[in-house]
Amino acid sequence: MLTDADVERWLREDVGHHDVTNDVPGETSGRLVANESGVAAGVDAASAVFDYLDATGTERVADGTAVEPGDALLRVAGPAQAVLRGERVAVNVAAHASGVATRTDAAVAAAREVDDDVRVAATRKTTPGLRGVEKRAVAAAGGDTHRLDLSHMVMVKDNHVAELGLTEAIERFRERASFATGVEVEVEGPDAAARAAAAGADVVLLDNMAPPETTAAAERVAAADGDALTEASGGITVETVPDYAATGVDVISMGGLTHSAPALDLSFRTGSDG
Amino acid sequence: MLTDADVERWLREDVGHHDVTNDVPGETSGRLVANESGVAAGVDAASAVFDYLDATGTERVADGTAVEPGDALLRVAGPAQAVLRGERVAVNVAAHASGVATRTDAAVAAAREVDDDVRVAATRKTTPGLRGVEKRAVAAAGGDTHRLDLSHMVMVKDNHVAELGLTEAIERFRERASFATGVEVEVEGPDAAARAAAAGADVVLLDNMAPPETTAAAERVAAADGDALTEASGGITVETVPDYAATGVDVISMGGLTHSAPALDLSFRTGSDG
Amino acid sequence: MLTDADVERWLREDVGHHDVTNDVPGETSGRLVANESGVAAGVDAASAVFDYLDATGTERVADGTAVEPGDALLRVAGPAQAVLRGERVAVNVAAHASGVATRTDAAVAAAREVDDDVRVAATRKTTPGLRGVEKRAVAAAGGDTHRLDLSHMVMVKDNHVAELGLTEAIERFRERASFATGVEVEVEGPDAAARAAAAGADVVLLDNMAPPETTAAAERVAAADGDALTEASGGITVETVPDYAATGVDVISMGGLTHSAPALDLSFRTGSDG
Amino acid sequence: MLTDADVERWLREDVGHHDVTNDVPGETSGRLVANESGVAAGVDAASAVFDYLDATGTERVADGTAVEPGDALLRVAGPAQAVLRGERVAVNVAAHASGVATRTDAAVAAAREVDDDVRVAATRKTTPGLRGVEKRAVAAAGGDTHRLDLSHMVMVKDNHVAELGLTEAIERFRERASFATGVEVEVEGPDAAARAAAAGADVVLLDNMAPPETTAAAERVAAADGDALTEASGGITVETVPDYAATGVDVISMGGLTHSAPALDLSFRTGSDG
Amino acid sequence: MLTDADVERWLREDVGHHDVTNDVPGETSGRLVANESGVAAGVDAASAVFDYLDATGTERVADGTAVEPGDALLRVAGPAQAVLRGERVAVNVAAHASGVATRTDAAVAAAREVDDDVRVAATRKTTPGLRGVEKRAVAAAGGDTHRLDLSHMVMVKDNHVAELGLTEAIERFRERASFATGVEVEVEGPDAAARAAAAGADVVLLDNMAPPETTAAAERVAAADGDALTEASGGITVETVPDYAATGVDVISMGGLTHSAPALDLSFRTGSDG
Amino acid sequence: MLTDADVERWLREDVGHHDVTNDVPGETSGRLVANESGVAAGVDAASAVFDYLDATGTERVADGTAVEPGDALLRVAGPAQAVLRGERVAVNVAAHASGVATRTDAAVAAAREVDDDVRVAATRKTTPGLRGVEKRAVAAAGGDTHRLDLSHMVMVKDNHVAELGLTEAIERFRERASFATGVEVEVEGPDAAARAAAAGADVVLLDNMAPPETTAAAERVAAADGDALTEASGGITVETVPDYAATGVDVISMGGLTHSAPALDLSFRTGSDG
């Protein structure tokens, strides 16, 4: 969840000790506006910035809303110093989150052209300090948050398997983790995928495989355990996502949704609008 | 400066309450490796992550170093749980900062082909919570940090001029701000640029002008006050930066250096390397 | 994860502004000792307290270790002021966590007499500020942490069902939550239990049912969906846990493991021991 | 005092990054209700939780109020997401504090049957992070908070006496501590108790003595210095408190009031009540 | 900027765990009053203290206002406990800031008798934790904040010059710092002052020179570079500030404005005033 | 106690986002040196600043040590960037604390010329954020910390007496506060002082009385209750402290020890010293 401490940190780093620029009297209003098409997200965070400064949000679109140039995401009113002081941080957080949402939306749309059910998921490759903001932006745009932190789902990796063997590694983590915590196993080929499913993985992560190998692995998993999910991962982009959507996997995860999405172009305009 | 509290926040959001995955005994070592060419940054932050967890950094490259695929940015050793627990956050922060540095480097190189002295600068359009990390990444790659926060330099904007008149607005802020604080004036055309320079601006911000108009404005400023700097800003990209470098401005600022640079592809590899 | 900020807060609230009592020169050593039989937990947290104060832990038992009166859980050495200043907080956290572990151990043992596989789980009814410490204590004693926070697993409750209908409620949350996030449905009778399993619940929470009704519900769930887990909950104690273990449910959850376990009697003894 | 940072930490650890469960529109109301008899405490903390989330407390009982099953401790109204998101943390803190208050009330009542003036006090054996919440719960139920932190009152212990001698130890701490800070001396028998009182202790702590020895020590202290207070401590329970109340000591302190009181059974019910 | 976290820390250190003194019911009002003549500052911080506690400020003077004995700086109303609990911290911060403002005002007045334009500036010798409060108090009284932190302006010191030579030191820092960041050079005599100006310093710091040497240095700087500013620093007091104002320097900086200004005598009076 | 979070906050406010000045390679050493005579305090805090930055303190004087010009309070060594970056904050905190200690020492010396036993005490009029640093500086110089926070000792004030009557006010607070918490009563004349002592005050605060009236009040208190302490307070300075020491009061409290003591002139010198 977003906290006051987050907002405070963002403002403190931007304002400094003596902000002369925004030392203006009176009241004003303004709006956060899209300069290009995309999907809005982080609007609650932008709103929280103004709220911390005692300016009031009067209207806002829901996260996940498609916006066109000129559309207002949020309107605020209050003391001029508060509105002006908050605008840069509010734009920064909303532009970043909306960038994530917009790219997620594009990836989901690309995948859906091929498969109606496949999930397009983010990863733990998020920007430090913004895990929640980015994961919620992904969700708002129809993506899947994937595991939210290390404690959310166990990931059995190469080194675990090397040390313990596949079956025992799964067994050990299954025992240590809660029944509420899924177990995913990372594999590097169709054979290992089948073995992981047979050994009881909830999800089999098909890492860095080309689409044909991914298809083969997904089939082997389905044959081994009809309930196990499959996830394709590793360098997948908006351009290549349809190829993976066609492989029959359940989930396609893309680090680039969060770590490399360009910001959506937003700006803040003070004063009344026509 | 980077603080323990920053690192703590990044780790806490990634680890959660019960991280079974990395609950392994013994010692291990590993290295942060580049998977593509670029410029390293955020290595000190990555190192601080491991340091917080009581793993030890043994070698690292300086921020600003050019790296090729396979190059190690940082080597660490320590308790396996510490090394494994820190790797994702360390990669995330270094990949983000290195992405900023890499794009800055590209922009600087593009500008330098045209003009040896022009500065390529970041803006206040940074990712919330990472102002310092991003500004230092820009500097490491040869870019200019521009003002670090609102208190660093006064920016006289449209609305100030509309309310007070140009000369009085500059005068008022000059009086309120310290002698240590420069005054920059945002203008939208060559005439206003000349007036701003004549009125005593330290820097004249040529906002959203095409290159030819920028050239004209820069000349007008030089004629009005030989000491005033000029800055071009507004939607400038790595592709268009040479056109602005040719205009004679002193500074070209690009929000995209920080808000839209894709992460540099880095990964963490445990164990000894050949 | 436990952070320095946690330790700092615990120490600050105990020490105050001018601690004369522990203002003694020189070095000392000491040990955290059990005064009654039980299961150790929170030893890492106790160790972190001394570490923050620059005293050094020299030996410690693993969380989950059974201890007898006189057994040392942790030995430390360092500046006398550091050792003395840390001892109360270290005892407080370890005694609390060990109390949770000891009660968990008793509940697990009671359940295991009846059923080898049933899991005894904690709930979100934890002491504010100690979620992680308590959950890890439960795990160390062989219990199941259950969901670690609201984001870990979706819980479909009465009011959701009332508003949306069972099937649609499950459907909606399934869609909004990640594939990595399980969906549990709270029901109040065998019929609803069967419907929840049929509608796709990962876990069916049998809330406040007596053992016979619980047995019936577990059977209905098994018939409806062989993969769905069943969880019994509501006022279950160490005394009644065997009755629930005999019902065939997969999980028995007990708020009392965390919110009402008496502290294990520990004390800190300075100086060398024979 | 309770701070926003405390509430924020409690909520953050319970909510996580993406709470789908409570993502519901509209307004709702609810109440915090007792499921068993006891003494309410921590109601202000529960109220602060909702307040942080922008739900409004409309009515509440004072800490220290006796409650019966069905009684409401607090009523709140506001956005459904805020009310639902706050309920678990609010219940957890109030149930914990009310558990402390209820046990304190029982101990005070047991003591008062024997002696009208004896004080039943808590110790520094509190739950880390909840020092203030627990101490205020003790006070609300008629107990005595005892010293709030190490800086509140000096405690002269065995090791101090061993090193410096009784008289000099008291003298030294008296000199170093403020006139506003009392000096208590821990002793292990009637003789030492008399010597401590004669040497100027404000309070003599009779540690781990059986009731008859406690009576003897209290008499010796009274003979040595009529103004010195006596405190009995060490493994005293609600069952044995009357025996100590009969010894003539001024204070009976019980670590179990805070570290081992079971939570009072409270729950949160949404919607209007009849 | 002042944050809630600052106010929280100030209150927490003053209130402790169980504040009985101010545990009074009902509503009250009060005012922060000057007991001596001076210049008000920190009124916003005092107001924020009451605001955090949910008492309301009803009227206040602007920072920088001259006050006479009996004048109210701030009026508040609200729950008695909130008003009483906040008063000491509110007085402490406003008395401290007003002390800084009052001394600044005296220094500015003394300087202005000799020179209308000279700036009287604070330094980085501020009270830890109160950088912003003190700098804003200086500005409110007509003083100059000087650089707000290390990143605001580069200071080239003896050791830099010793290592690199004057010209190269300036060059190197000019290159590393932003165009938005001035470069000041510390010198110890008129010759070095002239060299620094010639080498491109924005500001030349004339450190620990007597007034005649300062005059000479200022003239040398003016001759070398008409745009370079000069700053006199080192043990200057309100008594000696006119001597330095007569030297022709642009800035006179005084650490004593912030580190040694006695508090202005303020008190808080509850209840209505005639 | 001093925490890492305090040091972090002090450094963060001084360093900013991009400190070019201290970006120097290699190792260095330095010392914190007195430029005038006084009493050292805050040396532990200065040391903690360097420690946070990973520079090492090698030698230091104890708080309370008298220092002469040229004396080193602390020596440190480590990475040049760490040493240089820490020096300003280290000087600021030690100079402030040493100023408090130096003034306390002067007040204690002045009082001791008249009365060997009278205590010279600080008040709650401390600098926000530095309560502990200042109180410990007072104690180091032989002063009395007085109550450390609102919870340490109850202060019965005018408004309490007006509302409840003297006897009942004392009674009520005695009942609500712990036996470990003293009760002080503020009075404005000898008659009230006698009544307060008779009513059971532990300490009688003689507020704003001239010395003769103070003498009379102290005598009346002694006659009413030989154990009650008396404290003189209100505008007492180093100059007037002997007059109050001659009145026979037990404690003389002076807000000016903490809120108006000028900093002791300290500086930091890098490199080896002869």
pLDDT above 80: residue E272: no
Asked if A13 and F17 come within 8 Å (Cβ–Cβ), the reply is yes
Q: What is the pLDDT of residue B93?
A: 98
CA angle (C248 as vertex; C245, C250 as ends), nearest 5:
80
What is the bridge-based pairing of β-strands E203-207 and E182-187? parallel
C34: its two tokens: 């059990």
Cα(F104)–Cα(F112) distance, integer angstroms: 12
Q: Tell me the CA end-to-end span of chain B in Å, nearest whole number.
A: 35
CA angle (D40 as vertex; D36, D42 as ends), nearest 5:
125
Q: Which residues of E touch D1 (CB under 8 A)?
A: 11-12, 15-17, 19, 85
E53: closest CA of chain C, how far (Å): 20
* Residues C248-263 pLDDT 10s: 999 999 999 999 999 9
Q: What mean pLDDT value characterizes chain A?
A: 95
A165: its two tokens: 């063997």
Asked if A17 and F17 come within 8 Å (Cβ–Cβ), the reply is no
Cα(E241)–Cα(E244) distance, integer angstroms: 5
Q: What is the pLDDT of residue C58?
A: 85
In the predicted model, what is the mean pLDDT of residues E75-98? 97
For B221, the enclosing helix (H) or strand (E) is helix B211-224
Helices (H), ranges, D16-141: 43-52, 80-112, 131-140
B34 Cβ neighbours under 8 A, 6+ residues apart: B40, B67, B68, B69, B70, B71, B73, B98, B264, B265, B266
B36: its two tokens: 């593509």
pLDDT above 60: residue C199: yes
A239 Cβ neighbours under 8 A, 6+ residues apart: A110
What is the bridge-based pairing of β-strands B27-34 and A266-270? unpaired
Quick check: E5 and A3 in contact, CB under 8 A? Answer: no
What is the bridge-based pairing of β-strands A266-270 and A27-34? antiparallel
* Residues B79-129 pLDDT 10s: 999 999 999 999 999 999 999 999 999 999 999 999 999 999 999 999 999
Catalytic residue flag (residue D168): no
pLDDT above 50: residue E53: yes
User: Among E75, E112, E124, E125, which one carries the catalytic annotation?
Assistant: E125
Q: What is the pLDDT of residue C274?
A: 41
pLDDT confidence tier of residue E274, bands split at 50, 70 and 90:
very low
B74: its two tokens: 């940082």
F163: its two tokens: 């509302």
Catalytic residue flag (residue E265): no
Cα(D52)–Cα(D32) distance, integer angstroms: 17
Asked if A128 and B124 come within 8 Å (Cβ–Cβ), the reply is no
Nearest to A125 by CA among A203, A233, A41, A208: A233
Most D CBs within 10 A among F2, F104, F172, F178, hence the mutation to make, goes to F178
Most B CBs within 10 A among E118, E153, E171, E179, hence the mutation to make, goes to E179
pLDDT confidence tier of residue A164, bands split at 50, 70 and 90:
confident
Domains of chain A, start order:
4-106+262-270 (3.90.1170.20), 109-259 (3.20.20.70)
pLDDT above 80: residue A272: no
In chain C, what are the helix, strand and coil shares in percent, each to the nearest 5? 40, 20, 35
* Residues C72-88 pLDDT 10s: 999 999 999 999 999 99
Tell me A144's DSSP state.
B
pLDDT confidence tier of residue C272, bands split at 50, 70 and 90:
low
User: Tokens 């880390």 appear where?
Assistant: D128
In the predicted model, what is the mean pLDDT of residues E7-30? 94
Q: What is the pLDDT of residue C162?
A: 84
Q: Which amino acid is at F68?
A: E
Asked if D151 and F152 come within 8 Å (Cβ–Cβ), the reply is yes
Q: Which residues of F touch C16 (CB under 8 A)?
A: 1, 148-149
Quick check: D265 and D95 in contact, CB under 8 A? Answer: yes
Nearest to A72 by CA among A102, A48, A40, A99: A40
Q: What is the pLDDT of residue B274?
A: 41
Most F CBs within 10 A among E7, E100, E148, E259, hence the mutation to make, goes to E259
Asked if C178 and A145 come within 8 Å (Cβ–Cβ), the reply is yes
Active site residues of C: 88, 125, 157, 186, 207
Q: Which residues of B touch E251 (CB under 8 A)?
A: 179
Dihedral of CA atoms E45, E47, E52, E53 in degrees, nearest 10, equals: 130
* Residues E127-181 pLDDT 10s: 999 999 999 999 999 999 999 999 999 999 988 888 889 999 999 999 999 999 9
pLDDT confidence tier of residue B271, bands split at 50, 70 and 90:
confident
F247: closest CA of chain E, how far (Å): 25
Give the whole-number percent of chain D exceeding pLDDT 90. Answer: 91
B5 touches chain D (CB under 8 A): no
Active site residues of F: 88, 125, 157, 186, 207
B20: its two tokens: 């079974």
A13: closest CA of chain F, how far (Å): 8
Closest Cβ opposite residue D132 in set E8, E11, E17: E17
* Residues C103-152 pLDDT 10s: 999 999 999 999 999 999 999 999 999 999 999 999 999 999 999 999 99
Q: What is the pLDDT of residue D271?
A: 80
Burial of A225 (C-beta count, 10 Å sphere; 0-12/13-18/19+): middle
Chains B and D: how many Cβ contacts under 8 Å?
Answer: 3
Cα(A260)–Cα(A96) distance, integer angstroms: 10
Nearest to C93 by CA among C46, C36, C30, C32: C46
C131 touches chain B (CB under 8 A): yes
Whole-Å CA distances, B79 to B8, C35, D57, E11, E42: 18, 32, 48, 40, 49
Cα(F240)–Cα(C131) distance, integer angstroms: 56
D11 touches chain A (CB under 8 A): yes
Closest Cβ opposite residue C14 in set D24, D150, D271: D150
